[in-house]
Amino acid sequence: MQTANYKMSELLQIVKDKLEAKFGDALLSAELLYDFPVFILKKEIVKDALIFLKEDTDLNFHFLTTMCGLHQPDETEDKEFGLMYQLHNMPKNYRIRIKTFMLKSDLNMPTISDIYPTAGWMERQEYDFFGFNFIGHKNLSRILNMDEMNYFPMRKEYPLEDLGRNDKSDKMFGR
């Protein structure tokens, strides 16, 4: 197995060039955050980009490390919700992160569980906590929370504790 003997900035440049050639200005930004090249893409092309990155013979990102949702109500409206995908090419030890942002009114996203079967439960988890609607997912139902729940608990507006409780006072220390 090869260890990380390439420079992260080189990988950033290679992937950036390929994405730019293929998708043009749908690549919104490419930067190095700590030891990770991060690419922000337009929502519409994310799935195509993931397929492209997986099928590219040189890059071949065959492994989906993780994905997660993001809710940032303080950002502008078109950046309120976000999704992050982390891809990995194990033999070459390439790792990148793909991010995309969307409006609250349009949380539809094509599923990637057909390219990466491992995304099946990850997408169910993000649906469960944020309410993303993954189109084409075979069984998009709640996974960790109970089925009867009618809200998405990881959104920032939901408080950590039940506001109806009056047996706790944390005025001094805050929570």
Partner 1 sequence: MTAPNNTYDEKNYSTLNLGPTHPATHGIFQNVLTMDGEMIVDAVSTVGYIHRAFEKLAEHRPYNQITTITDRLNYCSSPINNMGWHMTVEKLIGAEIPKRAQYMRVIIMELSRIADHIVCDTVIAVDTGAMTGFLHLFQYREWIYEIFEEICGARLTTNIGRIGGMERDFSPKAWAKIDHFMKNFPKGLKEFQALVDRNRIFMDRTINVGPITAEKALNFGFTGPNLRAAGVDYDVRVANPYSSYEDFKFDIPVGTNGDTYDRYSVRMEEMWQSYSIIEQAIKNMPDGAFHADLPEFYLPEKQDVYSKMEALIYHFKIVMGETEVPKGEVYHAVEGGNGELGFYLISDGGRTPFRLHFRRPCFIYYQAYPEMIKGSMLSDAILTMSSMNVIAGELDA
Which candidate, 75, 158, 152, 53, places its Cα nearest to that of 107? 152
User: Among the residues of the chain, which ranges form H helices?
Assistant: 8-23, 46-55, 119-130
Q: Which is nearer to partner 1, 26 or 93 (CB)?
A: 93
Interface residue list for partner 1 (CB under 8 A):
1, 3-4, 33-36, 38, 62-66, 68, 70, 72, 84, 86, 90, 93, 97, 116-118, 120-122, 125, 129, 139, 141-147, 153-154, 158, 160, 173, 175
User: Of 22 and 62, which CB lies nearer to partner 1 in the complex structure?
Assistant: 62
Between 25 and 151, name the residue whose CB sits nearer to partner 1.
151
- Least separation in angstroms between residue 149's CB and partner 1 is 11
φ, ψ for residue 152, nearest 5 deg: -115, 100
Shortest Cβ distance from residue 124 to partner 1 (Å)? 9
Shortest distance, position 44 Cβ to partner 1, whole Å? 23
For residue 166, the SS3 value is coil
- Edge-to-edge, what's the strand order for the sheet holding 94-102? 27-33, 36-41, 94-102, 81-89, 63-71
CA distance linking residue 64 with residue 118, whole number of Å? 7
Shortest Å distance, C-beta 21 to partner 1 = 26
